[in-house]
Structure formats: structure tokens, C-alpha cells
Structure 1
Amino acid sequence: MDSFQAMVVKKTNDDVKYNVENVTLAHLSDGEVLIKVTYSSVNYKDMLAVQPNSGVVSDYPMIPGIDLSGTVVSSANDQFAEGQEVLITGFGTGVNHTGGFSEYARVPADWIVPLPKGLTLKEAMIFGTAGFTAALSLQALENQGMTPEHHPHILVTGSTGGVGSIAVQILSKMGYPHISALVRKEKQVAVAKSLGATDVIFASELGDGKKPLNKQTYDYVLDTVGGDVVARLIPQIRYGGSMSMCGNAGGLKLSTNVLPFILRGINLLGIDSVNVPITDRPAIWKKLANEWNVAATTVSNDVTLQELTDTIDAVKNGQHLGRTVVDLS
């Protein structure tokens, strides 16, 4: 192809701008595999990538988009063949390596996951990094003993966002009977309940978090926002319980005390979805393609490359619900 379209982020002095442009293969980062991108998706990190001084992108110009799914066009690695359907999330995609907001992507072979049986290219991006992160969080909590049979009380923060909405749906599908959804706005209540939440709690109801120990309320917390919400929830986790943490939209700092850890034996489980070893990824995606597949019921909408700006603005302004898939087909 002579040229194709991609969203390009450029920086001049302290000014960052992004637009859809015609580019060529010369604009793409190096890699053994060239992919015709069919779908990408929009994540919080993608919004940060086009903001000045966010620290996400340091080398300009850059094509953002941390997720993509599509078909192999050519490969210098014998693990992948022309016409094979594949997906990529994380690593350096869309951050320091040109990413998924482009009709073509060129990537290292060891970043690629073959599309698992039972999942379409579009479903892979309905999940994307958000679904992958939700699955990692759930797996970490289950490794700490969370099972439906024990009827645990579980709280999901950011419950109508990308990670949280998928987590709530998977928990509901797996038969967990007590799923509390944390919301901030009245309009999110109906959405959370439609996802499978059995109870909805407003962030304003969590208390001020000043007590070193509070009433033991939740066995497990799946946190997606970080910051002050985490500080207020730690003292409410029951003896031997756990909290997974995967996001920072609510802030980077965490102010807490040691008593919940040394008197109740609770666990904080850090979740990284970016650098998970490629050998560990297929098993997670197999679950998302099978017993954890909630793509059909996930709140999602489709946009074109040209419509991306409005979605990015919605994410920035806290007005984005569910998942947005970028259709590059």
C-alpha cells in the first residue's frame, strides 16, 4: 500500500496535538510482523497518551492505541503466517511503539497472542486491555481463595468503566451472589445493576477513612481507580480478605495505616497488564473466550478513526461508560 490512515500525536514545545493523517509503512516502528488492523479499543491510557505532560508518551510523533486485533499480512517469524488472526495488548504498543489507532501495525512477534478459538476479532477488542486487566484481577483474587461457593461479599470500584464493568459481568456469570458496585453518579446505578451488581454504593457513603480500622464489610475488593477510595476501603476489608489494584484514575497516592494488615491479615494485590509474560497470556485469553466470555453483554459502542476525538474527550471528562471499539475494517 502507498499510504493508509492513522491517528498521529505530535508535540511542539509544550503543545500536543493529534489528528488522523495519511502515513506510510515508514512511519511504523520496527517489528517482525505486519498486521492489517481490524479493530482497536479506547482505554484510559490512550486518553493520557494524547495529553501534554502525561508521561505516557515520550517520543514523538507517535501513533497511540495500546490494543489491536487483526490479520497478519506478512511475517519474518515462522510462528505467524499470512492470514492468521491475532491480538495485541500492552507491552510498548501505542506508548513507545506505534500502536493500534492505525490501519496497519508492525510489531515484535513476542508481543502477539493468536486469536483464541471462540473469540472474534471484534470481541477481542470489546475486552482489550480492560478485559485482560479485569481477568487478571479476578484470577489474583481467586488465587487468594475467592470462590462462589463461599458466598463472599465483593466490591468493584469504577464499576461502570472499562475494567469494572467487565469484572462485574464476569462475577455475575460465575455465580457470585454478593456483588457490590461502587458508583459516583445517579445515572450509573441502573447501568451497574444491568451488569449484574446485586447492590450499588455511592463513593460518598464510604466514610472519611480516618479510622485505622472500620466495620468489616467486604471479603474482596476489585479496585480500578486507586487514590482516596482505596484508603477508605482498606479498613473495611474482612479478616484474611484481599484487594486487587490496577488503576490510578482516582490518584497516585495512597495514605493508610498498618493495622488492617497486621491485625486482619489482609492482602493488597498489584495488577500489571502491560508486561505480563507472553507465555502467560494465552491462558487468560482462553478464559475470556470461554467461561468468562461476556462480550455479548458488555456495554460497548463502535467509532471510526475519525470519531475517536469525541470518545477521548468523554474519557477525559469522566463521561465514558463501558467500552469503545475502534472499527478500522
Structure 2
Amino acid sequence: ALVRYIYPHAEIGKGIALNGVVVAMGVALGPTAAAAILTVASWPWLFWVNLPLGAAALFMAFRSLPATPRSTARPDITGSVLCMLAFGALVMGGDGLAHQSGIVLSCALIGVGLLSGLLLIRRESGLPQPILPVDMLAKPDFAIAFMTGFCGFVASNFYIISMPFTLHDVLGMSPAETGLLITPWPIGIMSAAPLVRRLADTVSAGVLSSIGLLMTATGFFLLWMMPAHPTAFDIVWRTWLAGCGFGLFQPPNNRAMMVSASHARAGGASGMVQVARQAGQTCGAMGVAAFFSLFVQGAALKCLFMAACVATFAALLSSSRLLAGKKA
């Protein structure tokens, strides 16, 4: 939502793309920084180091971020509790089913989550500032962008979580090699940023996001089809291709969600962007857990294949915007 207040309407895509670059840089530097910390300090410092970094970020935010209109709505305690129950119970129940542990309890938690979600939606319907603005999904453009984002993050987490197991357990790479060979993913996301900054505000999300997701799906398929004894270069260029596609997909799709909402509901649209991201990542993680629980051998490679399939489906979903003849 802040990007929309900082950048003019014609440059929102550039702002979202730049924000994506910063996020990708953090992801790329994280493993290297963690390894450097562990060479000179114990593991608790991986958490302690976030205190000064967080304080610095808070200081810069207070000094630099613009003032935005304040909400006059009172805190919705009941809605907040229902929201926490819905998402918390669904995640815990889904995780239990994925690990095949406590099936009865897991099913009960899923039931509680679904009931809480229904009560939340019913209670929040018609409110001017709901906790979970699902009414935005009534707009076709917003709904397609939301589901495309959700599926894109399901695919990415199938890859992100399973790829270390593929490298370490299947290909016999060391932990250090595994970390280095995953790094091309965020580097690919950063590589796409200059192109996205130029095109995000002039080319439709249906075109850019669909091409990006097809590139990501192709990269995942090529990783799944790698030879039994690949070289480092074999892994790097495939991973970079997938990351580059993901970097091409995200900013225009997020922009499509943001511009479909009014300024007064920019916060709600931004919240739904995060719901799509977090729900997709959570479902992807639970899917990986389910695969490793169901399949004794080859689970990691099956996860890569699933990542490719979901990314392909997301590309088809994104391209439906072109069939509708609408430009996001």
C-alpha cells in the first residue's frame, strides 16, 4: 500500500519492481550472511543480529515514509479472533494431515478453521473496512490476479523447500554447495527487475505474468529432467531461468491487484496480496511435507515436477486475462 502512496499512478509498476529487487537481494544475501555469522559466533546470534537491523529499519521508516490517511474504524476484536482461529486452525490441521499424525485432531482443527472462516466472512460482509476483504474477489481482474499469485507461490515453495533435498540427498552435494546452488533463484529475480521496471506500467499483467510463469515452469521442468550427474552449471542456469521468470511474474501481478482497488482500499488490497503470498507459501510447504510423507523414495524430484505443473497452471490462469480482452 505504501508503494501506491509514494509513486504516481503511472509508475506503480516500477515501484513494485524495485521493492521486489530489494526483497530478492535480502533473500540472496541471507544465506551468505548467516554462514559468515556462524563462522565467528554461535547460532543464537542469527536471531540477535536482527535487533539492530530491525531498529535501523524502524528509524529509517519513521524518517522517510510518508504519512498516510488514518483509519477511523475501531479495532475489530471479534473479527481478529475469528481470523486467527480460521488461519491458525487450518494451517495446524493441514500440517497434521500432511505428516499423517493425529488424523482425528487434524480433521477437527480443519473443521474449526472452516467454521471460523465462514463466520468471519459472514460477519465482515458489508463492513467498510473488513479484517479480511474477500469482497474484493468479486472483481474478476482482482480475483484472477489473486489466484495467480496464490498458485505462483505454491509452485515457488514446492521448489524452495524440496530443492535442498534434491541437491543434498539425491545429488550428494555438501551443505555449502547446496546453499550456493540455490542462490541463482534470487539472482534471477533481480536480473528480471530492469526489464520489469520498464514494462510493468505499459504492458498488461496478462502478458508479463504469463510469460514469467512459463519461464518459471520451464526452469522447474528442466531441473526435474536433469541428468543423473549434473554439473554445477547445469543446475545454475536452470535455477536462474526459473528465478528470472518469477521476477517477471510478481510485480505486474501485484500491480494488477493494487490498481484494481480504490485509494481508500489500498490497505485492503495490499493485505490480500500478502494473503495470496502467505497462503500459497503455506500450502506449498504442506504439499512438500505430504509428498515426503507419502513417498519413501524420489519425493524431492516429485516435488520439483509438482512445482512445474502448478507454475504451468498459474500461467494458464494468468493468460485468461488476455482471453477476456482486459488490460490490467
Could you tell me the TM-score, scaled by structure 1's length? Answer: 0.23
Q: Higher helix share goes to which structure? A: 2
Q: Higher strand share goes to which structure? A: 1
Q: Which has the higher contact order (CA 8 A, sep 6+)?
A: 2
